[in-house]
Amino acid sequence: MEKIIVEKKVLSENDKLAAEIRTELTSQGILALNFVSSPGSGKTSLLENTLKSIGDKLKIALIAGDVQTENDANRLIAAGGKNVFPLVTGGSCHLDAKMIDKILPKINLDELDLLIIENVGNLVCPSSYDLGEDMKVALISTTEGHDKPLKYPGMFRRSSIMIINKIDLLGTSDFSVDEVKKNARQINANLKFFETSCRTGTGLEMWFHWLLNEIKTKKNRV
C-alpha cells in the first residue's frame, strides 16, 4: 500500500512536470515524439534512416535513453545527428519528465523543428511516464509475435502511432500484419499504422512524409 501511494505521488509529480515541458515546446511550435518499444525492435535504426533522409531539411534534437551505454547516441551521431544527447538511466527501466527537464536547457530550442526522445527498450514501464511529448510512437517488429498489443496493452493504449518494423522478415514466423493490427485496434481504435523495413527501405517514404507534415502542422499552430 505504501509503495502504491508513493508511486502515485511520483507519477502525479511527473505528469505536472511533463505538462510544463509540453507547454514550453508547444509555445515554440516544436513537435516532440517519444519512441517506445521492446529492446531491439529497431527504434535506433528508424531514427538513423530518418536522420539520413530528411535530417538536412530540419533542425532536430535527439535524446537517446538507455539503461547503460551510449551506443544508440553514437549511432545517431554517426547517422548525421547534430544535437544528440545520451541519457543513461544507470538501471532505471524508463525515462521520466525530470530527466528530460534536465537536458532541455542544453538544447537550443530556437527554430528547433523536432525533439525526438528514444526511450529505454521496455514495453511496460515507459508507458506510465509522460515526458511532455505530443505522441508516443510504438514500434513492434515482425519477429516479436502479433499478440504483443494484447499482452502489453498499456503501451499501445497510450501510443498514437504503431510502426510495424522488420517487414522484410515476414514469413520467417507466423506473425501476421492483419492480426497485429486487429489486436492493436482492440486496445486502441485510433492507432495510425506504418509498415517499414529499415533494412530494405520499404515504407520509410510514407513515414518521412507523415513526419514532415506533422512538423509543419505543429509549426503552423504557433
How far is residue 215's CA from residue 76's CA, in Å, rounded to a whole number? 20
Shortest distance (Å) from residue 91 CB to a copy of itself = 6
List 78, 147, 192, 210, residue binding a copy of itself (CB under 8 A): 147
Q: Which one of 96, 130, 144, 195 is in contact with a copy of itself (CB under 8 A)? A: 144
Q: Rounded distance, CA 147 to CA 206, Å?
A: 25
Amino acid identity, position 126: P
Task: Rule CB under 8 A: choose which of 27, 172, 176, 186 binds a copy of itself.
Answer: 172
Instruction: Please say which residue, 31 or 138, places its beta carbon nearer to a copy of itself.
Output: 138
* 197 touches 203 (CB < 8 A): yes
Nearer to a copy of itself, 91 or 105 (CB): 91
- Which residue type does 135 have? M
Q: Pick the piece of the chain touching a copy of itself (CB under 8 A) from 53-61, 67-75, 77-85, 95-103.
A: 67-75
2 binds a copy of itself (CB under 8 A): yes
Under 8 Å CB-to-CB from 137, ≥6 apart: which residues?
A: 33, 34, 35, 36, 159, 160, 161, 162, 163
Residue 182 Cβ, how far from a copy of itself at the closest point, in Å? 14
Which residues, including other chains, have CB under 8 Å from residue 192's CB and lie 6 or more apart?
A: 160, 161, 162, 210
Q: Decide if 96 contacts 129 (C-beta within 8 A).
A: yes
- Binding a copy of itself (rule: CB under 8 A), the pick from 15, 58, 98, 145 is 145
User: Residue 218: CB partners within 8 Å, gap ≥ 6?
Assistant: 26, 29, 30, 31, 134
For residues 80 and 153, which CB has a smaller minimum distance to a copy of itself in the complex?
153
Residues that bind a copy of itself (CB under 8 A): 2-3, 6-7, 10, 38-40, 66-69, 71, 91, 93, 120-125, 141, 143-145, 147-148, 150-154, 166, 168-169, 172-173, 199
